[in-house]
Amino acid sequence: MDDKKNQYDGGIISQLGLMASFGSIFGSLYIYFISDDQMLGIFVGLWAPTLILISKEIDKMMGWMAE
């Protein structure tokens, strides 16, 4: 039972990464269509998968450190 208390629940950092990726997607759409800077809009949109991947890997590392 005590081992359960020491385990890292995770998820918080992954959720933050997911929200940041949504921000990147919506920001890129805004820049692409409203600001008429298509190349910057594409660049901002490319960060979405990177943010998700990094946040998931950080969550995994936090779980390993809790063990």
Residue 63 pLDDT: 79
Residue 62 pLDDT: 83
Distance CA 66, CA 58 (A): 12
Residue 20 pLDDT: 94
User: Which residue type is seen at 58?
Assistant: I
pLDDT tens, position by position, 4-61? 555 556 688 888 999 999 999 999 999 999 998 999 999 999 999 999 999 999 988 8
pTM of the model: 0.74
Distance CA 33, CA 64 (A): 42
Residue 47 pLDDT: 94
pLDDT(65) > 80: no
